[in-house]
Each structure stands twice: as C-alpha cells, then as structure tokens.
Amino acid sequence: MKLGVLYSGGKDSTLALMKAQKYHDVVCLITVVSENKESFMFHTPNIDITLLQSQSMGIPLVRVVSKGEKEIELGDLKKAIQEAVQRFKIEGVVSGALRSTYQASRVQRICHELDLWCFNPLWLLDQVELLYELLEKEIHAVISGVFAEPLDESFLGKEIDKEMIVKLSKQQNPAGEGGEIETTVLDALIFKKRIMITDSKIDYARFAGTFTILDAKLEDK
C-alpha cells in the first residue's frame, strides 16, 4: 500500500515512519508548518528541518503552511493530504500519535472523509519502551523544546541517549506525550546522510525553552 506519513521531524513521526516502511511503501512525508506557536495540532520547533530530513531519506515532502487557527488548521491538513493523494496516489496516512485523542481523532476523521486508511503504529505504546526503541532503531533525536518543570535549559539540544532516557523516565510523561518536550531527529537508520547543525540558539526562561536550529547541512555517514 502506498502511504504518506504525517511528519514533524521529531522522534515519534520518525519511529512511526520506520514501522510503516516495514510493511508498506512510504511514498511521501506530509508536513504542516504552523505559524501559530500555540497550535494544538502542529507547532514543532525546527519544523523546517523536515526539508533536509526528506532529502536525506530520499522521500518527497508535501509541505503546507498554516496560520494555525484552531480547527481551521485541520482544513490545511486535509489540503496537504489531498495533495499527497493527487501527487503520490497514497491510499493511507500514518501518524505518530501516541495518546492524544485530540490529535488522533482529527486525523482519523480526515482520513475517513477522504476514504483513506489511517495507521497509528505507536498508539498507547509505553513511553519508556518508545524511548528505548529509538536507540534500537538508531534514531538520534535531540531535545528541541522543554515546556514543563523540572525540565530546564540543561536538556535543550541534548541527544536522547541511555543517560537521558534514565532522566526522562522520572517524568510523568517520559516521552513528552503531555507536551513536556519536543524533539528533532538528526540521524536514523533510514537517513542516507546525517544532519549536521552548524548554527543554533537556545531561548529559555522558567522551565520553557527551545533549541532552534539556525543552520544545518547534510554530511556523509
């Protein structure tokens, strides 16, 4: 089956993509770039890095910019999926939804309206198990946002390795399912080249901060 993956460039959508690839043909990535930092559905730091990720994986990217207004942004997602259907003949959509019924049900509704299969291979997966699966699949993700106490500036830009998993495991939502952390993937088994960050900045104040990639390039592995 030809599938499109809703891709934010973070650990969950990358892991979902790799699971989907085991059984199906992932023909495109679908990214909604939200201009609204408060968007419930789409806001992710470093969303522009999906351009390099797409290039590295050799999977084309369908990219749509949304103003990120609540519920209206769902129309933008639908348009992006429709574009993927038209350009790449996808028969289904994969998301990295883990537990958010808000996000999952909205994607399910759009797929139902468009008569597409909808797959959520991480659904209800244990969050610590998910973090260890990243290591297993050689997904190198850095923390690109912290949004809850006690996660502070020291977490920003750090890779999720064994030591970090031990730290995150102490949190209520170790994989950040409650929005506590956001991540950006720099390398994975499916990446033909790794992403090298050449310029970045950290903004942080009172347990909320972001690690923004200002410039990056692909380099041989």
Partner 1 sequence: MILIVNVCRDKLSEMEFVRPLAMLIEDHVIVHYSKVKLADRTAAEKIIIAGTALKDFDYLDGKFSWLKKTRRPVLGICAGAQVIAKEFGLKLEDFALIGPQKVEVVKENRLAEGVFNAYFLNTKIVAGCEPLAMSNGKPCLFRIAEKEIYGCLFNPEVLNESVILNFIQ
Residues that bind partner 1 (CB under 8 A): 1, 19-20, 22-24, 92, 94, 101, 105-106, 108-109, 111-112, 115-126
6 or 146: CB nearest partner 1: 6
Of 3, 39, 8, whose CA–CA distance to 23 is shortest?
Answer: 3
Closest approach of Cβ 218 to partner 1, in Å? 29
> What sign results for the dihedral spanned by CA atoms 154, 145, 128, 52?
negative
What's the Cα-to-Cα distance from 217 to each of 19, 30, 165, 186, 199, rounded to whole Å?
26, 21, 27, 10, 10
Closest approach of Cβ 92 to partner 1, in Å? 8
Closest approach of Cβ 85 to partner 1, in Å? 14
CB atoms within 10 A of CB 187: 20
11 or 140: CB nearest partner 1: 11
Q: CA-based Rg of the chain, rounded to a whole angstrom?
A: 16
Closest approach of Cβ 14 to partner 1, in Å? 16
Give the list of residues 6+ apart from residue 130 with CB closer than 8 angstroms, or none.
Answer: 11, 12, 15, 98, 122, 175
7 or 119: CB nearest partner 1: 119
Closest approach of Cβ 49 to partner 1, in Å? 26
As a whole number of angstroms, the distance between CA 116 and CA 83 comes to 13
Give the list of residues 6+ apart from residue 209 with CB closer than 8 angstroms, or none.
Answer: 145, 146, 152, 153, 156, 202, 203
Structure tokens at 44: 């992710």
96 or 145: CB nearest partner 1: 96
33 or 125: CB nearest partner 1: 125
Closest approach of Cβ 189 to partner 1, in Å? 18
33 or 85: CB nearest partner 1: 85
